[in-house]
Structures are given as structure tokens and as C-alpha cells.
Amino acid sequence: MNRELGIGVLGVGDMGRRHAENIRSLVPGARLVAVADVNWERAKKVAGELELEHSFCDLEDMLQCEGVDAVVIASPDKFHADSIATAAAAGKAIFCEKPIATNLLDAHSALRAVARAGVHLQIGFMRRYDSAHRQAIRRIEAGEIGEPVIFKSIGRDKDVPPISAYQSNVNGMLFYNSTIHDFDLARWLMRDEISKVQAYCTVAIRPEVGHYGDVVASVVNLKYEHGAIGNVESYVQALYAYDVRTEVVGSKGSIFIGSMEKTPVTFLAANGAVHVLEDHYLSRFAEAYVLEMKDFVENVVRERPPRVTGDDGLKALAIAVAAENSHFGGDPCEVSIEVAEMAGKGDL
């Protein structure tokens, strides 16, 4: 690389702070210049801990900070699209955590802003950088399992979200905040687009969540354009572990990705076998978060196109919107990136 990329991080909750820490210490060619958060006390605290001179309470002020060439957006979901548009208008390269937006209208608006400005935009689908998933896609692309026929995935968070997480109304519902990772994998690993979904959801064990338009668990059935089928399960309070697993079944074999175990070590004792389980996404995908940021920086500096594009973000979002429309409407729903075709509650 012939220059260092100055980066500002917007939103320094758990995810944004991890990105800031990685940029500060683990990403060659990058320099963490500033952080911003609507909670300025939090921004100042993180800036102090990371030995930064600059902290701000909004994106606009951070964009004017000298040395900021790129922005990492890790604010709540509903602010992503506006932040992308604002950063693009300022001519900054952009890394945005998923989802690109919480509705198709805002997503298209953000992508138009990126196109007008001609800036770099990468979406944070970190599982594509996970070593197990990368091995899987190489084997699939090499034809080792034949033609993909069935996609299956499980995504279960460990801890019970506080009710305040739903009351704040700043993050998208389960499909946008969590399942969207599986929707992205469902496209990427199967090398095909999803044409129709049907969603089944429940709040049976925590009915108060339904008052805020969200769900505790969901199962989404998938139909692909070229005949394959799939199934995605999401659950926000598994309690036993952070559990993410995927399987792609092909005409010649099958690939399993992921495990509940944190390490391959099994401990044996008089009361039985004990496995060390994963407890959080930040530990399970720690390496992937570093690798995706390294890739972002290298591609911006070397003026190469992003590996995970705004179009990838849009297409995963379209699946989430269709799943939400199916949930509220009770019927299967076609997947489309066109705003005019989406008439359900999820795109209002």
C-alpha cells in the first residue's frame, strides 16, 4: 500500500467498539482517527481508552475531521441508509454493518447516493470471511458436492434481549438484525437467488415482544429460482450457547459448517463429556471481523471493487422484507428488489 487510510467509526456499542479496536491494532494500512456516537459520553470514553484525540456526537462533525478518509457505520439499523448517503455525499469510502437499511425505499436511496458520489461501499456480512465458510464455498464452487439442492441454517443467540432493545425501535426486527446473515449465506453458498419465502414466527414464550412488532423465533422456508429449496431458523434466546450452523446439500454430497463448540477440545469427566461452547458472536467470528476490515482497507487503498457490495446488501434486504411481509400477511411472498412490488407492512 502506498498510503494509510484514515477511518472514523460511527456508533461505538459492542459492534462499533470491536471494529474500532481492530482498526486501532490489527488492520495494516489503516489508522483510527475518530469515533462518534449519539451518546457523546460513550464516544469520549471509547476515544480515551483507544488513545484518540477526536470524538463526536454526530456523523456530520466527524466527516469534517481532518484525516477521515473512510467511515465505518455501526449505528442502530434504522440509521444506516441515511448515514450511507451522508458519508457518500462527503466523498468518504464506506463500510456499513448489516442491514443496508430496514426497507427497500431507503436502501435504493442510499445506493443512488453511493453511485452519484462514486465512492466505495462494503456491507458487513462477516461470515463470508470466516475460514469455515470460505472453505465451504471453495468446495461448492469446485463441484465437490455437485449441484446444490437444499440450504439449511440455524442462528441462535444465547442471551435474552432486554425489553428495552425492542422498545427503542431503532433496530430492525429479527429478520433484519439477525436472520439477514443467513439470507446472505443462502444466496452466496447456493450460488442462486431466492424467488419466494414463507415465514412462520412465534412470541409464545415472550408475548410482550409482539407488542413491538418483533418475534422471538422464526422459520423461513426458501424457494430458489433454479429449483433448489431451503430453510432458515432464527432464535434470540437459546440460553445454552451462541449456536450458528449451516448445511448445503448437493447432488453428490453435503457440507456442514459451524459447531456449538468454541474449540475442538472435549473434556471428559466422571459426570460425562463437557464441551466448551461459544457464547457470543464477537468471539465466534473474531477473526472474520478482522479479515473483513483488512479487505475493506486494502480494496479502498488499491482502488479495487468491494468483495461484498451494496447490491449484496440490497438483495439480502429484499429477502428480509419478503419474510416480514409473509409473517404479517400469512402467505408465501415473492422476493423482489423493486419497491413498487412490495406492498406488505415491512416496506411501509
Banded pLDDT at 261 (limits 50, 70, 90) = low
Q: Which fold has domain 130-282+314-347?
A: Dihydrodipicolinate Reductase; domain 2 (3.30.360)
Please determine, for residue 252, whether its predicted confidence score (pLDDT) is greater than 50: yes
Q: What are the angstrom distances between the C-alpha of 173 and each of 57, 187, 218, 319? A: 26, 21, 11, 13
Give the long-range contacts of residues 215-218, CB within 8 A, separation 24 or more: 215/173, 215/174, 215/327, 216/174, 218/174, 218/175, 218/179, 218/323, 218/327
Per residue in 18-47, pLDDT (tens digit) is 999 999 999 999 999 999 999 999 999 999
Q: Which pLDDT score is estimated for 271?
A: 56
Query: What is the structure's pLDDT at 98?
Result: 97
Residue 237's φ and ψ, nearest 5 degrees, are -145, 65
pTM: 0.92
Beta carbons within 10 angstroms of residue 225's beta carbon = 11
Q: Whole-angstrom Cα distance, residue 339 to residue 347?
A: 8
Residue 348 has pLDDT above 70, yes or no: no
- C-alpha–C-alpha distance, residues 331 and 199, integer Å: 8
Question: 183 falls in which pLDDT band (50, 70, 90)?
Answer: very high
pLDDT of residue 170: 92
Give 179's pLDDT tier (boundaries 50, 70, 90): very high
183 neighbors 197 (Cβ within 8 angstroms): no
Q: Give the pLDDT score at 241.
A: 85
Question: Residue 118, by phi and psi: left (phi above 0), alpha (psi -120 to 50) or beta?
Answer: left
Mean pLDDT of the chain: 92
Nearest-angstrom CA–CA distance, 99 and 72: 13
- Over 60: is that where the pLDDT of 135 sits? yes
SS3 272: strand
* Residues 141/250, Cβ–Cβ less than 8 Å: no
Helices 286-301/14-25 angle, 10° precision: 60
Superfamily of domain 5-127+286-307: NAD(P)-binding Rossmann-like Domain (3.40.50.720)
**What would the mean pLDDT of 60-71 be, rounded to a whole number?**
97
Q: Does the pLDDT value for residue 345 go beyond 80? A: no
List the grid coordinates of 6.
Answer: 484514515
Domain ranges of the chain: 5-127+286-307, 130-282+314-347
Cα distance between the two ends of the chain: 44
CA distance linking residue 123 with residue 69, whole number of Å: 17
Write the single-letter amino acid at 50. L
284/263 Cα distance (integer angstroms): 10
For range 318-341, the mean pLDDT: 92
Give the list of residues 6+ apart from residue 293 with CB closer than 8 angstroms, or none: 19, 22, 23, 26, 27, 30, 72, 95
**Nearby residues of 280 by Cβ (< 8 Å), 6 or more positions away:** 158, 242
The pLDDT of 49-61, averaged and rounded, is: 97
In 11-69, the DSSP E strands lie at 30-36, 54-56
Average pLDDT over residues 218-242: 96
The phi-psi region of residue 29 (left if phi > 0; otherwise alpha if psi is between -120 and 50; otherwise beta) is left
Cis peptide leading into 76, omega within 30 of 0?
no
Q: What is the pLDDT of residue 126?
A: 97
